[in-house]
Each structure stands twice: as structure tokens, then as C-alpha cells.
Amino acid sequence: MTTPAPTWSFLGPGGTFCESALRQVAPRDVVLDPCQDVPTALDHVRDRSAVAAVVPIENSVEGGVNATLDNLVAGAPLVIAAEMAVPITFVLAGRRGTRLEDVRAISTHPHAWAQCRGWVHQHLPEAVYIEGTSTSAPARALAEADDAADAALDYQAVLCNPLAAEQYHLNIIAGGVADNPDAVTRFVKVCRPGRVGEPTGADKTTLLVQLPHNRAGALLDMLEQFSVRGVNLTRIESRPVGDSLGRYRFSIDVEGHIREERVQAAFIGLHRTCPFLRFLGSYPRLDSLPVVVPAGTSDKDFVVARSWVADVLDGRTL
């Protein structure tokens, strides 16, 4: 008897950058569960039809991926277990015979389009944009369309990643398409919460916190909950709470692990003073750089300080 292979959901369809990210961390025998959108992929973890989901969380050009940030706070709790980065460059692909100068229409996902707009403007200023639901769906559609029926297909192209072009046997018209060749999308592996593991020394913690309403300086106060414990922020994204203009939640990444005292102290401070707080995981940093713990904020510093207070309470002041 064998353990069945685990199912991982992800933002489909197959052949997108998200599948590339999944391949970085999933086991070999993973059963792929491509989902039509991020909420569906995450819900498959919540309802136990998948053990993990891989979804994009941040793009160096377009910013936070709202569907992911908002779903992680709205539904049953999930936690991030790993992060993966995928460089975002595209190929312009078409049917056999289509040349660059033939292309009149280009289809891709709006995020991809946003990252190639400059290139298209320069090389194909006349081309019309056709919005696609992913970077690979238009590739598949183009590949599966009936040749004979529609000659117009020869004037179409798609912007997709190399993997999709290969999977759907499309011809690469131009490679390395990207306005910003350093563009990167960060993906995360998301699981159901369980006992939190041990720190590696090079960890990151993600959380979501809502500011108290209508109080000048609330953001400043919230940030001081981190700074006073020497906890450094590496990402902060504002998201509207959604019930009216002017109220925000902040999605935040900090250096360190929730099993570390200084990070716990910051969480305790936030929990005390903010109306909503959600822990979204402590996990190894992509870059494996050890976190520099500022003087006075190591676990030992906290333990010694607490023990000093206990001594004071018992009259053992020295």
C-alpha cells in the first residue's frame, strides 16, 4: 500500500509562471490542481482537496497581488510556508509562419500586458490588445483554433512564458520580451495552519493588521510596535478594508520568525492596539540571508530582562 501523491492547487492554467514557481518546491509526484483564480486555489486548501496552494503575492512592477492579499484575510486562516521568485520575461509566440511584422493583435493577461507595453509600443505600435484570463490560456486557444476556419489567426500572437509556448507547440517570434528585464514575481506556498516550526535564522514573517479608525498617527504608532523591538519591515502594502474610503489594512513582511521573542513582542503590541491582526506564516527567506538581530533584541536579551523583572517582584533586586 502506498501513500497517494499529494494534490497542490495553483493559479492555472498549466504552463504559467505560477506552475514554474510550484515546480521549485513541490514533490516530484505532485498531482496538479490548476484553478481559475486565486480564491479557488486557496479554497481548495481550506476544504482539504489540496494540501498546498501556490499563488502569486507580489510583482516587482505591478505591486501586491490583491486577490491573494485579500483572500488570505477574508477566509478561514491559512499560512505561508515558503516563498519562491520567478523572473518574469515573456516570449511573443504565434502559429507557424507568423512573422513579427504580421502581428496585428496580441493576447495575454493584463499583468503581462502591463509589463510588455513599452516593448509592444516600440516594435508593434499598431497591434491591438486582446485581454486574456492568464498568460497561457491565449496560447492554448491559439494552438487549438481550427487552422482552416480562420486565416486571421495568422495575424495573432500571444505573450506567454517559454514553457507555455513549448507545451502548445507555438512558434517563438521574439524572446526576452519585458520592459523591465529584472521584473520578478514572488509566489508563495500556502497551507493550513499547524504547529509553527523552528526558526532557521534567516526567516520572514507575514501578517495583516488593520489600523484603529480615525486616529491621527495610527500608522506611525503601528510602525513603532515593530521599531521599538528592532523588527525590520521588508514589505508593506496598504489594502482598503472595503467598507468605506479611508480605512486600511496593511499587509506586512518582517524579518524574523514568530518563535523569536522580538517578533512575538511586536505581535503582542499589535494585538493589544489594533482592531484586527492575522498571522500569515513564518518561513525561510528566499535569499537565505541571516537576519541581523539589533542589539538588545535577541531572545536572550528578552529572557534575561524578564528574569530581572521577576527578581524585582520578589525583592531580589541586585
Phi, psi dihedrals of residue 51, rounded to the nearest 5°: -90, -20
Shortest spacing between CB 305 and its own copies, in angstroms: 4
Shortest spacing between CB 304 and its own copies, in angstroms: 7
Asked whether position 299 contacts its own copies by CB under 8 A, the answer is no
Q: Is the peptide bond before 6 cis (omega within 30 degrees of 0)?
A: no
**Which span (19-27, 48-56, 143-151, 239-247) binds its own copies, by CB under 8 A?**
239-247
**Which span (2-10, 141-149, 170-178, 235-243) binds its own copies, by CB under 8 A?**
235-243
Q: Which residues pair with 208 in a beta bridge?
A: 251, 278
For its own copies, the binding residues in 44-83 under the rule CB under 8 A are: 58-64, 66-67, 77, 79
Alpha carbons 200 and 192: distance in angstroms, whole number: 20
Alpha carbons 298 and 262: distance in angstroms, whole number: 7
Alpha carbon dihedral 7, 8, 13, 18, in 10-degree steps, equals -160
For its own copies, the binding residues in 247-286 under the rule CB under 8 A are: 248, 258-259, 264-265, 267-269, 271-273, 277-279
Considering the complex, state which of residue 144 and residue 198 has its C-beta at the smaller distance from its own copies: 198
Shortest spacing between CB 214 and its own copies, in angstroms: 10
Considering the complex, state which of residue 2 and residue 214 has its C-beta at the smaller distance from its own copies: 214
Asked whether position 119 contacts its own copies by CB under 8 A, the answer is no
Cα separations in angstroms, 150 against 87, 140, 155, 157: 35, 16, 10, 14
Alpha carbons 283 and 82: distance in angstroms, whole number: 6
Alpha carbon dihedral 133, 89, 8, 283, in 10-degree steps, equals -130
Compose the 163-202 pattern: x for residues touching its own copies by CB under 8 A, - for all others.
-----------------x-xxx-x------xxxx------
**Which span (6-14, 86-94, 144-152, 243-251) binds its own copies, by CB under 8 A?**
243-251
Closest CA to 70 of 218, 192, 210, 193: 210
Compose the 129-168 pattern: x for residues touching its own copies by CB under 8 A, - for all others.
--x-x-----------------------------------
Alpha carbons 96 and 154: distance in angstroms, whole number: 8
Asked whether position 19 contacts its own copies by CB under 8 A, the answer is no
Asked whether position 289 contacts its own copies by CB under 8 A, the answer is no
- HSE-up of residue 304 (Cα within 13 Å, Cβ side): 6
For its own copies, the binding residues in 205-224 under the rule CB under 8 A are: 216-217, 219-221, 223-224
